[in-house]
Chains A and B, each alone.
Chain A
């Protein structure tokens, strides 16, 4: 039983940052932006989150800093890709590389350490115990006692879904992606919508970053986003941006991640850490085969 609870909690923990970043990617996907910069935004968020929490001894300020840091990254993307009309792909690559370089540089300059920085001064984001529920056996151990960000992620999934499909902003957002000239000639600036989608993406990837440095662990290490932004991109593309689909894919990935850790008992870790990526490839393959079948019919 403990193993199953451990696996499920592991799944939730590894799915959270991916899901948050992918929700941000979902918004830009619907806006018609080829945004591959979630990785960089998340890393920026993780660094600034740690910075805020460290200096102000406060996790809420940490979260705020994480969001602002990721928005800063998003603004750079906006400047190049939307205002200066540079290629989105190149901008994304540039931003991801810049983020690794900039956070590493700042880490070394500010804290004079290489690799990772941890300190008791960094206040982590608390876990939330839900009264009543926490006392229920098994279920309580899963539903209660998760990190605050985990609950926020659940809310974010519902909110993004609502925003995209039920609101006026959502109608315009998807219009910007489907046919931007049509939106422009309808009297709504497609570029404004794109800018907003990127800023919201910044908010969500910032939350994802704060979970990395203040939730999952309480430290910042160089390149700690470790490909999660790319996995979130794969999730977005795989389900064409649909938030519910993204949630499922993220959970699947989280599950395989946890499974990999579990399998470390019997297999070398080099192999087990491949599991999530192999699972991603298999999912991609299954998806493309299904798509092909649909097209031939």
Chain B
């Protein structure tokens, strides 16, 4: 039950784009807005861009980021950048007016063709593609439920953008310092248990792999549909290096996160 792959934009472009603004959402997460007309007008929820950390070759490789929000009318895209190493550290130091080399849009995004009731489930920085998705789902007039987990209150980000969409997420933290104490799967499990019509439910999930695996192992998981956005180490982003392979559910082959994903249907890949 893997279904056909999700949608993919027209051709990607590689270009230098202007930083319009930057804001800090918490200790390590920055939101950066780029003036990128040709990406903004084509990118679909769940697709990503591959960003060069700087103009030199050190650090070397591009860093992949799901698009957090896109505004085709104003021609900008927002990315959430969490500082985890030297590449993201450099990106976090960008200032308004800087030019950044971005390749995109890339990959296959969320498939919204059959969605009934959408349940969005994010873990940490995994909130990024889900905010863009929520935007699109509201435009399509679909009911949206949002579950978002963080490690602690210091890691919380993105909630004000959901608020602007009038979405009230169920937020949990592992240490209980913000929202419900526990894993995001705890309130999600309760919610799913109460659903009279689980067949109409479709989950859209992005977060650490153990979280995605836990979701796919929830009780009655065969009754609802699910799509998972994955993160891996990646080099080219265009299906050439084959570095971002993940095993298929049957363990027989591999899929490329950059080209076949980053969004995969339930039971398509091994989480």
A binds B: no
